[in-house]
Amino acid sequence: STTENSDIKRNETELPMCFDEVPGDFGPVPVNKTEVELDWVEKLYPEIQLGGMYTPPNCTARHKVAIIIPFRDRQQHLAVFLRHMHPFLMMQQVEYGIFVVEQAGNSEFNRAKLMNVGFVESQKLKAGGWQCFIFHDIDLLPLDLRNMYSCPRQPRHMSASIDKFHFKLPYEDIFGGVSAMTLEQFTKVNGFSNKYWGWGGEDDDMFYRLKKVGYHIARYKMSIARYAMLDHKKSTANPKRYQLLSQTSKVFQKDGLSTLQYQVVKVTLNHLYTHILANIDEPS
Protein backbone atom coordinates (compact mmCIF):
# COMPACT_ATOMS: atom_id res chain seq x y z
CA SER A 1 0.00 0.00 0.00
CA THR A 2 1.00 3.65 -0.31
CA THR A 3 1.34 3.98 3.44
CA GLU A 4 3.87 1.15 3.59
CA ASN A 5 5.82 2.57 0.67
CA SER A 6 6.06 5.99 2.25
CA ASP A 7 7.13 4.37 5.53
CA ILE A 8 9.98 2.60 3.75
CA LYS A 9 11.05 5.76 1.97
CA ARG A 10 11.10 7.81 5.17
CA ASN A 11 14.62 8.92 6.04
CA GLU A 12 16.24 10.19 9.25
CA THR A 13 15.24 13.79 8.64
CA GLU A 14 11.55 12.85 8.60
CA LEU A 15 9.77 12.33 11.88
CA PRO A 16 7.69 9.23 12.63
CA MET A 17 3.94 9.66 12.91
CA CYS A 18 2.65 10.58 16.36
CA PHE A 19 0.39 8.00 17.98
CA ASP A 20 -3.30 7.93 17.16
CA GLU A 21 -4.48 6.49 20.45
CA VAL A 22 -2.39 6.85 23.60
CA PRO A 23 -0.36 3.76 24.53
CA GLY A 24 -1.96 1.32 26.96
CA ASP A 25 0.02 2.41 30.00
CA PHE A 26 -1.51 5.90 29.89
CA GLY A 27 -4.89 6.46 31.48
CA PRO A 28 -6.21 8.38 34.48
CA VAL A 29 -4.52 11.68 35.32
CA PRO A 30 -4.90 13.75 38.48
CA VAL A 31 -6.39 17.27 38.50
CA ASN A 32 -5.33 20.15 40.64
CA LYS A 33 -8.14 22.65 41.23
CA THR A 34 -6.00 24.98 43.35
CA GLU A 35 -6.17 28.55 42.11
CA VAL A 36 -2.82 29.60 40.68
CA GLU A 37 -1.28 32.65 39.00
CA LEU A 38 -1.00 32.67 35.23
CA ASP A 39 2.65 33.90 35.41
CA TRP A 40 3.51 30.83 37.40
CA VAL A 41 1.84 28.48 34.90
CA GLU A 42 3.70 30.21 32.05
CA LYS A 43 7.03 29.27 33.63
CA LEU A 44 6.01 25.60 33.77
CA TYR A 45 5.59 25.29 29.98
CA PRO A 46 8.32 27.19 28.10
CA GLU A 47 7.87 24.83 25.11
CA ILE A 48 4.44 26.28 24.30
CA GLN A 49 4.61 28.79 21.46
CA LEU A 50 3.05 32.23 21.50
CA GLY A 51 -0.73 32.11 21.33
CA GLY A 52 -0.88 28.79 23.22
CA MET A 53 0.20 26.81 20.15
CA TYR A 54 2.10 23.55 20.20
CA THR A 55 3.53 21.16 17.62
CA PRO A 56 5.00 17.86 18.87
CA PRO A 57 8.77 18.15 18.40
CA ASN A 58 9.57 14.47 17.82
CA CYS A 59 6.74 13.19 15.65
CA THR A 60 4.40 14.33 12.90
CA ALA A 61 1.01 15.09 14.45
CA ARG A 62 -2.04 13.35 13.05
CA HIS A 63 -4.41 16.02 14.27
CA LYS A 64 -4.39 19.82 14.02
CA VAL A 65 -6.81 20.83 16.68
CA ALA A 66 -8.19 24.23 17.70
CA ILE A 67 -9.51 24.27 21.26
CA ILE A 68 -12.23 26.95 21.39
CA ILE A 69 -13.28 28.26 24.81
CA PRO A 70 -16.24 30.64 25.20
CA PHE A 71 -15.38 32.98 28.04
CA ARG A 72 -16.53 35.76 30.34
CA ASP A 73 -15.93 36.47 34.03
CA ARG A 74 -14.05 33.24 34.72
CA GLN A 75 -10.55 34.60 35.31
CA GLN A 76 -10.11 32.27 38.31
CA HIS A 77 -10.61 29.23 36.09
CA LEU A 78 -8.30 30.21 33.26
CA ALA A 79 -4.93 29.45 34.88
CA VAL A 80 -6.25 26.21 36.43
CA PHE A 81 -7.54 25.15 33.01
CA LEU A 82 -4.30 25.98 31.16
CA ARG A 83 -2.18 24.30 33.80
CA HIS A 84 -4.15 21.11 33.25
CA MET A 85 -4.70 21.21 29.48
CA HIS A 86 -1.22 21.98 28.18
CA PRO A 87 0.51 18.93 29.68
CA PHE A 88 -2.55 16.78 28.84
CA LEU A 89 -2.50 17.76 25.15
CA MET A 90 1.29 17.52 24.91
CA MET A 91 1.12 13.97 26.30
CA GLN A 92 -1.40 13.11 23.57
CA GLN A 93 1.04 14.36 20.89
CA VAL A 94 -1.60 16.60 19.36
CA GLU A 95 -0.78 19.71 17.32
CA TYR A 96 -3.03 22.33 18.86
CA GLY A 97 -3.85 25.93 19.72
CA ILE A 98 -5.94 27.26 22.61
CA PHE A 99 -8.37 30.09 21.78
CA VAL A 100 -10.23 31.91 24.53
CA VAL A 101 -13.12 33.86 23.03
CA GLU A 102 -14.39 36.55 25.36
CA GLN A 103 -17.70 38.35 24.98
CA ALA A 104 -17.36 42.15 25.27
CA GLY A 105 -20.14 44.22 26.84
CA ASN A 106 -22.96 43.28 29.17
CA SER A 107 -25.54 41.45 27.07
CA GLU A 108 -26.62 37.98 28.11
CA PHE A 109 -23.85 35.44 27.53
CA ASN A 110 -24.05 33.82 24.10
CA ARG A 111 -21.90 30.73 24.28
CA ALA A 112 -22.78 29.39 20.82
CA LYS A 113 -22.12 32.64 18.96
CA LEU A 114 -18.75 32.97 20.71
CA MET A 115 -17.85 29.48 19.50
CA ASN A 116 -18.74 30.49 15.94
CA VAL A 117 -16.42 33.49 16.35
CA GLY A 118 -13.69 31.21 17.71
CA PHE A 119 -14.07 28.91 14.72
CA VAL A 120 -13.71 31.74 12.18
CA GLU A 121 -10.94 33.64 13.97
CA SER A 122 -8.80 30.62 14.91
CA GLN A 123 -8.79 29.55 11.29
CA LYS A 124 -7.20 32.89 10.31
CA LEU A 125 -4.37 32.34 12.77
CA LYS A 126 -3.12 28.98 11.49
CA ALA A 127 -1.17 28.44 8.28
CA GLY A 128 -3.05 25.73 6.38
CA GLY A 129 -5.88 25.89 8.89
CA TRP A 130 -7.16 23.63 11.68
CA GLN A 131 -8.92 20.39 10.74
CA CYS A 132 -10.56 19.67 14.04
CA PHE A 133 -12.40 21.94 16.48
CA ILE A 134 -12.99 21.13 20.11
CA PHE A 135 -15.52 23.40 21.77
CA HIS A 136 -14.67 23.43 25.44
CA ASP A 137 -16.20 24.84 28.59
CA ILE A 138 -13.49 26.31 30.78
CA ASP A 139 -14.78 24.57 33.90
CA LEU A 140 -14.22 21.02 32.61
CA LEU A 141 -10.93 19.18 33.02
CA PRO A 142 -10.41 15.77 31.35
CA LEU A 143 -9.39 12.98 33.70
CA ASP A 144 -8.13 10.32 31.29
CA LEU A 145 -5.46 10.51 28.59
CA ARG A 146 -7.25 7.89 26.48
CA ASN A 147 -9.86 10.63 25.84
CA MET A 148 -8.09 11.78 22.67
CA TYR A 149 -8.45 15.40 21.66
CA SER A 150 -9.06 14.59 18.02
CA CYS A 151 -12.01 14.41 15.63
CA PRO A 152 -13.24 10.98 14.56
CA ARG A 153 -15.53 10.25 11.60
CA GLN A 154 -18.61 11.33 13.50
CA PRO A 155 -18.97 14.35 15.83
CA ARG A 156 -17.84 13.35 19.30
CA HIS A 157 -19.43 14.34 22.57
CA MET A 158 -16.45 14.20 24.90
CA SER A 159 -17.63 15.24 28.38
CA ALA A 160 -20.04 12.33 28.92
CA SER A 161 -18.92 11.44 32.41
CA ILE A 162 -18.64 14.42 34.79
CA ASP A 163 -17.90 14.18 38.52
CA LYS A 164 -20.64 16.71 39.40
CA PHE A 165 -23.21 14.40 37.73
CA HIS A 166 -21.76 11.36 39.51
CA PHE A 167 -20.13 10.26 36.24
CA LYS A 168 -23.54 9.57 34.69
CA LEU A 169 -24.81 10.89 31.35
CA PRO A 170 -27.59 13.43 32.20
CA TYR A 171 -29.57 12.47 29.05
CA GLU A 172 -28.82 10.48 25.91
CA ASP A 173 -28.75 13.37 23.43
CA ILE A 174 -26.61 15.75 25.49
CA PHE A 175 -23.93 17.49 23.42
CA GLY A 176 -22.79 20.18 25.87
CA GLY A 177 -19.59 20.76 27.83
CA VAL A 178 -16.89 19.51 25.48
CA SER A 179 -17.55 18.45 21.89
CA ALA A 180 -15.40 17.74 18.83
CA MET A 181 -16.25 18.34 15.19
CA THR A 182 -14.21 18.33 12.00
CA LEU A 183 -14.08 21.36 9.73
CA GLU A 184 -16.39 19.53 7.33
CA GLN A 185 -18.93 18.52 9.98
CA PHE A 186 -19.06 22.00 11.49
CA THR A 187 -19.48 23.81 8.17
CA LYS A 188 -22.06 21.32 6.91
CA VAL A 189 -24.40 22.22 9.79
CA ASN A 190 -23.71 25.96 9.37
CA GLY A 191 -21.96 26.10 12.76
CA PHE A 192 -23.91 26.91 15.92
CA SER A 193 -26.99 29.09 16.12
CA ASN A 194 -26.30 32.76 16.92
CA LYS A 195 -29.62 33.20 18.71
CA TYR A 196 -29.17 31.66 22.16
CA TRP A 197 -28.71 34.56 24.60
CA GLY A 198 -28.50 33.26 28.18
CA TRP A 199 -28.06 29.75 29.53
CA GLY A 200 -29.18 26.51 27.88
CA GLY A 201 -30.30 24.88 24.66
CA GLU A 202 -27.53 25.95 22.29
CA ASP A 203 -25.85 22.55 22.59
CA ASP A 204 -29.15 20.73 21.97
CA ASP A 205 -29.60 22.96 18.92
CA MET A 206 -26.24 21.70 17.59
CA PHE A 207 -27.34 18.13 18.27
CA TYR A 208 -30.47 18.68 16.13
CA ARG A 209 -28.39 20.18 13.31
CA LEU A 210 -25.99 17.25 13.29
CA LYS A 211 -28.84 14.77 13.35
CA LYS A 212 -30.69 16.58 10.56
CA VAL A 213 -27.74 16.26 8.15
CA GLY A 214 -27.30 12.59 9.02
CA TYR A 215 -24.50 12.44 11.57
CA HIS A 216 -24.67 10.46 14.75
CA ILE A 217 -22.89 11.24 18.00
CA ALA A 218 -19.80 9.27 18.96
CA ARG A 219 -18.67 8.89 22.56
CA TYR A 220 -15.87 7.19 24.40
CA LYS A 221 -16.96 4.79 27.07
CA MET A 222 -17.86 6.31 30.42
CA SER A 223 -14.66 5.13 32.10
CA ILE A 224 -12.64 7.22 29.59
CA ALA A 225 -14.89 10.26 28.98
CA ARG A 226 -14.36 11.45 32.56
CA TYR A 227 -14.12 15.11 33.60
CA ALA A 228 -13.82 17.13 36.77
CA MET A 229 -15.94 20.28 36.95
CA LEU A 230 -14.75 23.49 38.63
CA ASP A 231 -17.18 25.27 40.95
CA HIS A 232 -19.19 28.28 39.85
CA LYS A 233 -22.57 29.92 40.21
CA LYS A 234 -25.35 28.68 37.96
CA SER A 235 -26.54 31.26 35.45
CA THR A 236 -30.16 32.12 34.70
CA ALA A 237 -31.78 30.05 31.97
CA ASN A 238 -32.94 31.55 28.70
CA PRO A 239 -36.77 31.41 28.69
CA LYS A 240 -36.82 31.37 24.86
CA ARG A 241 -34.70 28.27 24.43
CA TYR A 242 -37.49 25.74 23.86
CA GLN A 243 -39.18 28.02 21.31
CA LEU A 244 -35.87 28.31 19.43
CA LEU A 245 -35.26 24.56 19.59
CA SER A 246 -38.66 23.83 18.06
CA GLN A 247 -37.53 25.72 14.91
CA THR A 248 -33.96 24.44 14.58
CA SER A 249 -34.35 21.76 11.94
CA LYS A 250 -36.32 24.14 9.71
CA VAL A 251 -34.13 27.24 9.98
CA PHE A 252 -30.57 26.15 10.75
CA GLN A 253 -29.22 26.87 7.26
CA LYS A 254 -30.29 30.50 7.76
CA ASP A 255 -28.87 30.90 11.28
CA GLY A 256 -25.22 30.19 11.97
CA LEU A 257 -21.90 30.75 10.18
CA SER A 258 -23.80 32.08 7.15
CA THR A 259 -25.33 34.92 9.19
CA LEU A 260 -22.58 35.48 11.77
CA GLN A 261 -21.90 39.15 12.53
CA TYR A 262 -19.42 40.47 15.09
CA GLN A 263 -16.51 42.80 15.57
CA VAL A 264 -13.15 41.72 16.89
CA VAL A 265 -12.21 44.20 19.61
CA LYS A 266 -8.74 42.75 20.20
CA VAL A 267 -6.70 39.64 19.51
CA THR A 268 -3.79 39.03 21.90
CA LEU A 269 -1.26 36.26 21.49
CA ASN A 270 -0.40 35.35 25.07
CA HIS A 271 2.15 32.70 25.90
CA LEU A 272 -0.40 30.03 26.89
CA TYR A 273 -3.48 31.06 24.88
CA THR A 274 -4.80 33.35 22.19
CA HIS A 275 -7.30 35.83 23.60
CA ILE A 276 -10.03 36.97 21.21
CA LEU A 277 -12.21 39.73 22.59
CA ALA A 278 -15.30 40.17 20.43
CA ASN A 279 -18.37 42.34 20.34
CA ILE A 280 -21.16 39.98 19.35
CA ASP A 281 -24.13 42.23 20.14
CA GLU A 282 -26.73 42.51 17.43
CA PRO A 283 -26.60 45.86 15.62
CA SER A 284 -29.30 48.12 17.09
Chain residues that interact with ligand NGS, rule: CB under 6 A:
170, 174, 176, 200-201, 203-204, 241
Residue 203 Cβ, how far from ligand NGS at the closest point, in Å? 5
Q: Which is nearer to ligand NGS, 90 or 218 (CB)?
A: 218
Please give the full DSSP string across the chain, using - where no structure is assigned.
-HHHHHHHH--TTSPPBPPSS--TT--B---------HHHHHHH-TTSBTTTEE--SSSB-S-EEEEEEEESS-HHHHHHHHHHHHHHHHHTT-EEEEEEEEEPSSSPP-HHHHHHHHHHHHHHTSTT--SEEEEE-TTEEE-BTTS-SS--SS-EE---EEGGGTT--SSTT---SEEEEEHHHHHHTTSS-S---SBSSHHHHHHHHHHHTT---B---TTTSEEEE---PPPPB-TTHHHHHHHHHHHGGGSSGGG---EEEEEEE-SS-EEEEEE-PPP-
Q: Which is nearer to ligand NGS, 97 or 155 (CB)?
A: 155
Q: Which is nearer to ligand NGS, 97 or 200 (CB)?
A: 200
Q: Which is nearer to ligand NGS, 102 or 204 (CB)?
A: 204
Contact 7, 126 (CB under 8 A): no
Residue 94 Cβ, how far from ligand NGS at the closest point, in Å? 25
Q: Which is nearer to ligand NGS, 118 or 177 (CB)?
A: 177
Q: Which is nearer to ligand NGS, 252 or 273 (CB)?
A: 252
Residue 274 Cβ, how far from ligand NGS at the closest point, in Å? 25
Residue 247 Cβ, how far from ligand NGS at the closest point, in Å? 13
Residue 193 Cβ, how far from ligand NGS at the closest point, in Å? 12
Residue 157 Cβ, how far from ligand NGS at the closest point, in Å? 11
Residue 69 Cβ, how far from ligand NGS at the closest point, in Å? 16
Q: Which is nearer to ligand NGS, 53 or 68 (CB)?
A: 68
